[in-house]
């Protein structure tokens, strides 16, 4: 009997030992898998770099201060172009602050295109590229694209007036950038407005052409689609082209010169042809 009990205990012990070994191996395999995963993640980790982001939402025209921003670690392969990464770059040592040109949300990276240069306000002059000038155009409901214009949009400009005795509509400039609409330069405004004037960025030569066109006829604006890089050729349309009317050309035929002399034969006067002398 004792031998049976001893054998049974031995069998149970061996079984428990085998089960324990199985559990230990399973746990060891899991541990090894986790270690391998951690090593893979460490090898694939992207280096981080400091980037300034907003601590709160900030609106157009506000002054950007050090209390408005914070530094966070940003993957260096995904840093937005124009992001600020150094304090003296964003806040110069001379103490001049930047002004916000576009609304920025909380945790959004501070970008150079969304703020002015240090010490500048958010006026139109801060948006002019080198060599460009600001020029105001008079518009109304029909010529101003019915209130759909916003600062930052691009427009084509058409002139309508008298040319060579006929009314003509002609494309005089393409893809002019709007700086302001009715003295409002905030491109994030959403409420539509029927503008009376729009301010565009143009070269001095373009300003001269626009001024002459505005004084001699009517200007109309055509909104260019976002991302449209189509090159527009010259456009000129008159009423005849619009209606498909073909003008008749008058050809003047010069009558043949006939030179004569008159002679009298008795009571009768006779004309005799002779060669004409120039």
pLDDT of 189 higher than 60: no
Half-sphere exposure of residue 69: CA atoms within 13 angstroms, side-chain side: 25
Pick from 61-65, 109-113, 124-128, 177-181: least confident: 124-128
pLDDT of 141 higher than 80: no
Output b/e per residue, 109-147; b: 16+ Cβ within 10 A: bbbbebbbebebebbbebbeeeebebbbbebeeebbbee
pLDDT of 106 higher than 90: yes
DSSP label at residue 250: P
Is the model's pTM score more than 0.75?
no
Residue 261 contacts by C-beta under 8 Å, 6 or more apart in sequence?
271, 272, 274
**134 near 125, Cβ under 8 Å?**
yes
**Residue 61, phi-psi category: left (phi > 0), alpha (psi -120 to 50), beta (remainder):** left
Distance CA 128, CA 209 (A): 19
Collapsed DSSP state (helix, strand, coil) of residue 239: helix
pLDDT of 38 higher than 70: no
Pairing relationship of beta strands 259-265 and 268-274 according to DSSP bridges: antiparallel
pLDDT for 55: 94
pLDDT of 71 higher than 90: yes
């Amino acid at each position: 009997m004792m031998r049976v009990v001893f054998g049974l205990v031995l069998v149970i012990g061996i079984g428990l030992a085998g089960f324990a070994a199985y559990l230990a191996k399973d746990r060891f395999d899991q541990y090894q898998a986790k270690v391998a995963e951690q090593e893979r993640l460490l090898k694939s980790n992207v280096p981080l770099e400091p980037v300034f982001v907003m601590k709160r939402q900030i609106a157009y025209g506000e002054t950007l201060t050090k209390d408005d921003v914070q530094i966070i670690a940003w993957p260096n392969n995904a840093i937005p172009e124009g992001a600020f990464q150094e304090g003296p770059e964003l806040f110069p040592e001379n103490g001049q602050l930047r002004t916000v040109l576009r609304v920025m949300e909380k945790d959004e990276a501070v970008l150079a295109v969304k703020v002015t240069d240090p010490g500048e306000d958010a006026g139109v002059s801060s948006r002019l590229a080198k060599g460009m000038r600001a020029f105001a155009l008079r518009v109304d409901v029909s010529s101003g694209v019915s209130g759909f214009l916003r600062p930052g949009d691009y427009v084509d400009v058409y002139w309508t007036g008298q040319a060579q005795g006929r009314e003509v509509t002609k494309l005089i400039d393409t893809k002019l950038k709007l700086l302001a609409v009715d003295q409002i330069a905030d491109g994030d405004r959403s409420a539509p407005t029927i503008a009376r004037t729009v301010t565009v960025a143009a070269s001095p030569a373009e300003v001269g052409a626009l001024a002459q066109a505005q004084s001699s006829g009517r200007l109309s604006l055509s909104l260019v689609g976002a991302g449209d890089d189509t090159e527009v050729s010259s456009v000129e349309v008159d009423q005849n082209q619009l209606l498909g009317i073909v003008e008749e050309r008058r050809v003047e035929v010069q009558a043949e010169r006939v030179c004569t002399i008159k002679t009298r034969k008795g009571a009768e006067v006779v004309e005799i042809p002779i060669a004409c002398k120039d």
